[in-house]
Amino acid sequence: MIKALSSRIFFRSILIFNAVMVLVPVLFLINSSLRETNDFARNPIKLATSPHWANFSSVWANGAFATYLKNSLIITVGSTILILTLALGAGFVLGRYTFKGQNFIMGFILSGMLVPAKLAILPLFIQLKWMHLLDSHLGLILVYTSGALPAAIFIMSGFFRSLPADLDSAARIDGASEFQLLRRVLAPLVRPGLSIVAIYSAIPIWNDFFLPLVFLQTPEKKTIMQGLTVFFGEYSSQWGIIFAGLTLAALPLIVLYLILSEQFIKGLTAGAVKG
Amino acid sequence: MSKTGLQREQRKFTFLLLAPGLLTIIIFTSIPALTTLSYAFFHWKGFQRGSFAGFENFHRLFSFPFKDQFLMALRHNLLVFVGIFTLQTAAGILIAYSLYRMIKGQRFFRTVTFLPVIFSLVIVGYMWQALLDPFYGPVNNILHSIGLDSLARTWLGSTSTALPTLVFINLWRWVGFPAIIFLSGFNAINQEYLEAARIDGASEGQIFRKVMFPLLAPSMTIVAILTFIGAFEWFDLPYVLGGSSGGPAGATDTLALMFYRLSFGSVDSGANEIGIGSALGVLIFSIVGVGAAFGSKYLRSREVDV
């Protein structure tokens, strides 16, 4: 009895310790973003009792920051919409139809999941340059789409396959065209799959550092993660502004995560966990 | 609608819906992946391809000055893999098991555990750079205030502590991922086995070691393979905190950083060496591919079929 109780206390303290380790740095970051640089330098560990919002207006006044955020948003939203559209269509065809060469196409798509983007970076760089897609958001969107698409099609075709076959014949008897069948009948039913694919694609794209570093050169085209490295260099000892910048870059995702944590966990571990 | 009409519509639809996706994958993944191998066997001048080079690029990679860089980077990648794998697996299983045993309030702790995984490594890197700042960082401040001055150091600035510090930051950011994988591994274990062991009088510790841990093998396979690939492609964190040359003084240099310098030119030397960079790329891919293939074969063989 006592042993069971003490083991429960032990495992609970593991979780509490872990929660403290996770939350304290994040709270420190947010807290410090509301403190004046001089005040911070005098004593780094203190609560921001009178919030110094000016840090955030300084970040915003540096117009580049808003541009970085906007660029990241364009690239992430653009890629995600393209991935969802293409994966919805391809997933429907591969999950609901049977046709010649289907296994070959599925195998080809699966092989695309094995190629690490970093390996192909040099030919991709030269190819994008040749296609006039280097240093462009569209080029980056296409590369991200291509990278996420194999897994996205795989996930979506699984969702389509799991729907009962009667749905199709019933809709066809009612006179629905194939497009109407997909749009009105099946697409609403695979929405959980779409949300997994959206998170699986959008989060790594928003967070990505490597591809924008290589493919984007014009300062006005850079993404927020690249922008932070510029920003960090520019304000190297102005702690208040640095923390405000980091907070501003991290906060959108934190808020989304707190609302949709279950979907985030499912989406980001998709492929690694069965079911 | 006649049968043939439906078939014709379906065939049209199949083409219409599959072609754009397949074309995107072919152009932006397949073609670059296939041509990348050939790059290593040519001479390059900037981004201009020259004559056939045979194995010369590989030969140059293994001679001065690249050989020493390569061996040091490889050593770092190996250390990082061993360090990250050991720490993340141990901590991940401990957290996962604690979550598994918790009946009420599991959701809160699960959400918190996974939180750092959603952060970009750029944000994580800079956040920890601030936390570990030798003068203004709270970590050293706390150490000073509780009288542990001897433990305070320039965590990211000295060659002896930089790499272990990066491994720790990586652990902070990533441990939630294996924890969730292991948790779903625990949840997948059939309750009947645990009941049977309990009836046989096994203690909770024995049940964990003899029944649950072996049944966790599939999760272990996934975590090990993903960690291996991640460790040998390690780039973002060392780049953000140590620059493209893996500072301080190359103490955090990795194969991926070296590949980046050779491919796109480094800050100090400027010029790039695409041929040698591609040779290194082929090598990294072989290490990752062969390691992951053999690793998963070995790890799968120790998964118990039930």
**pLDDT of A159-197, one tens digit each?**
999 999 899 999 999 988 889 999 999 999 999 999 999
Does A15 reside within a domain?
Answer: no
Predicted TM-score (pTM) of the model is 0.91
**pLDDT of A52-68, one tens digit each?**
888 999 888 887 889 99
CATH of the domain at A238: 1.10.3720.10
Chain A interface mutation, best of B127, B156, B180, B264, highest count of A Cβ atoms under 10 Å: B127
**pLDDT of A205-248, one tens digit each?**
999 999 999 999 999 999 999 999 888 888 878 888 999 999 99
Residue A94: per-residue pLDDT: 95
> Where are the domains positioned within chain B?
59-301
Residue B28 near residue A140, CB atoms below 8 Å:
no
Does A27 reside within a domain?
Answer: no
Residue B227: per-residue pLDDT: 93
Query: What are the chain B neighbours of A228 within 8 Å (beta carbons)?
Result: 122-123, 126
Please name the member of A93, A119, A273 whose beta carbon is closest to the beta carbon of B285: A119
The one-letter amino acid code at B79 reads L
Residues A150 and A82: their CA atoms lie apart, in Å, by 13
Confidence of residue A1 (pLDDT cuts 50, 70, 90): low
Own/partner contacts of B141-147, CB < 8 Å, gap of 24 or more, are: B141/A44, B141/A45, B142/A45
Residue B141: per-residue pLDDT: 86
Cβ–Cβ of B121/A45 closer than 8 Å? no
Confidence of residue A47 (pLDDT cuts 50, 70, 90): confident
**Could you say which residues of chain B have pLDDT below 50?**
1
Chain B interface mutation, best of A22, A216, A257, A263, highest count of B Cβ atoms under 10 Å: A22
Q: Residue B32: which of B226, B265, B285 has the closest Cα?
A: B285
Residue A216: per-residue pLDDT: 94
Residue of chain B with shortest Cα separation from A40: B136
The one-letter amino acid code at A119 reads L
Residue A153: per-residue pLDDT: 95
pLDDT higher than 80, residue A117: no
**pLDDT of A93-114, one tens digit each?**
999 998 889 999 999 998 888 7
Confidence of residue A31 (pLDDT cuts 50, 70, 90): very high
Backbone angles phi, psi at B83, to 5 degrees: -65, -50
3-state SS track over chain B: CCHHHHHHHHHHHHHHHHHHHHHHHHHHHHHHHHHHHHHCCEEEECCEEEEECCCHHHHHHCCCCHHHHHHHHHHHHHHHHHHHHHHHHHHHHHHHHHHHHCCCCHHHHHHHHHHHHHCCHHHHHHHHHHHCCCCCCHHHHHHHHCCCHHHCCCCCCCCCCHHHHHHHHHHHHHCHHHHHHHHHHHHCCCHHHHHHHHHCCCCHHHHHHHHHHHHCHHHHHHHHHHHHHHHHCCCHHHHHHHCCCCCCCCCCCCHHHHHHHHHHCCCCCCCCCHHHHHHHHHHHHHHHHHHHHHHHHHHHHCCCCC
Confidence of residue A27 (pLDDT cuts 50, 70, 90): very high
> How many domains would you assign to chain A?
1
Residue B135: per-residue pLDDT: 85
Residue A273: per-residue pLDDT: 60
Chosen CATH of B59-301 out of 3.40.30.10, 3.30.70.380, 1.10.3720.10, 1.10.1740.10: 1.10.3720.10
Residues B214 and A172: their CA atoms lie apart, in Å, by 50
Residues near B223 by Cβ (< 8 Å), separated by ≥ 6? B88, B89, B92, B178, B181, B182
- Residue B241 neighbours by CB distance under 10 Å: 23
Residue A5 near residue A205, CB atoms below 8 Å:
no
Residue B143 near residue A45, CB atoms below 8 Å:
no
The chain-wide mean pLDDT, for chain A, equals: 90
**pLDDT of A213-224, one tens digit each?**
999 999 999 999
Query: What are the chain A neighbours of B116 within 8 Å (beta carbons)?
Result: 22
Query: Domain range holding A194?
Result: 62-268
Please name the member of A232, A254, A269 whose beta carbon is closest to the beta carbon of B180: A269
- Residue A95 neighbours by CB distance under 10 Å: 19
**pLDDT of B257-277, one tens digit each?**
999 999 988 655 667 889 999
DSSP SS3 for A9? helix
- Could you give the percent of chain A with pLDDT greater than 70? 98
Confidence of residue A275 (pLDDT cuts 50, 70, 90): very low
Residue of chain B with shortest Cα separation from A256: B118
Residues B16 and B10: their CA atoms lie apart, in Å, by 10
Query: What are the chain B neighbours of A235 within 8 Å (beta carbons)?
Result: none
**pLDDT of A139-167, one tens digit each?**
999 999 999 999 999 999 999 999 998 99
Would you give the DSSP letter of residue A270?
B
Residues near B153 by Cβ (< 8 Å), separated by ≥ 6? B134, B140, B161
Place of tokens 């509301």: A34
